[in-house]
Amino acid sequence: MKRLLLLTPLLVLLAGCDKNDSPAAFSPEMASFSNEFDFDPLRGPVKDFSQTLMNEKGEVAKRVSGRMSEEGCFDVLEFHDLENETGATLVLDANYYVDGITQEKKVRLQGKCQLAELPAAGVAWETNDEGFVVKSLSKDREVEYQYDKEGYPLGKTSQTKGDTLAIMSTPSEDPRKKLDYTSVTLFNKQPVGNVKQRCDYDRHDNPLNCELEMIDMSVNPATTLRYTIKNVIDYY
């Protein structure tokens, strides 16, 4: 009996070591790319994913899909904006992303697979010591990005010809529900828009289905748009 009593606390300690109570952080690449290409960041060993934005009529408005390496690099990124009839496919090729159709070099990379430069537009990105993109610079615009301690994107501030556009996001206090957020958009310190999102989550704390509400206060009267986001995610 004494032997069993001694083993019991040891087993409890070992069980505690196996359990991970902290959600996975957002990688520098995932957080930075989501900032720059306007999609929701994901956690964990993502293999491939798609995010589909549908309007209140159930029509697809936008779709983003990606395939990632086990190291967390984006091997392929594909964008379809059906509302504006635009789209693009970026394919990783050495230290560039090339156009998936023409093979033209589009985005130069730094390090393993982080954004460095968009030569055709004269855009250059700067990273911090942790590898997150914290600034985007071009001839007419400067953008600064903010993140929380888990790497979740908290917003960005753009300076263009004396005008300032700031997007500030406040995620849920639940660390496993970061994509439940509210955000405000300010133009020269005046509110011009609000966004609210609520999601269902999978076992990796990534969103599966989300309800998105966007209020445009730049028009009078203000307009409200509601969307549904469907995420399909495969893991390694």
Tens digit of each residue's pLDDT (9 = 90 or more) over 7-64 = 444 444 444 444 457 899 999 999 999 999 999 999 999 999 999 999 999 999 999 9
Tens digit of each residue's pLDDT (9 = 90 or more) over 151-188 = 999 999 999 999 999 999 999 999 999 999 999 999 99
Q: Which domains does the chain have, with CATH numbers?
A: 23-235 (2.40.160)
Model's pTM, two decimal places?
0.88
**Average of per-residue pLDDT across 102-125:** 96
* 5 vs 27 pLDDT, higher one: 27
**Which pLDDT does position 18 carry in this prediction?**
43
- Adjacent-strand bridge partners of 235: 46
**Which pLDDT does position 4 carry in this prediction?**
44
Tens digit of each residue's pLDDT (9 = 90 or more) over 196-235 = 999 999 999 999 999 999 999 999 999 999 999 999 999 9
**Which pLDDT does position 219 carry in this prediction?**
92
66 has pLDDT over 50:
yes
pLDDT range class, residue 5, cuts 50, 70, 90 = very low
**Which pLDDT does position 22 carry in this prediction?**
85
Say if residues 160 and 137 touch (Cβ distance below 8 Å).
Answer: no
Which two three-digit tokens encode residue 105? 């070099």
**Which pLDDT does position 2 carry in this prediction?**
43
Q: What is the dihedral of CA 196, 74, 146, 227, to 10 degrees?
A: -10
* 207 vs 112 pLDDT, higher one: 207
72 has pLDDT over 70:
yes
Say if residues 194 and 182 touch (Cβ distance below 8 Å).
Answer: yes
Q: Residue 81, CB half-sphere, CA atoms under 13 Å: how many? A: 9
SS3 36: helix
**Average of per-residue pLDDT across 80-104:** 95
Which two three-digit tokens encode residue 33? 């790319």
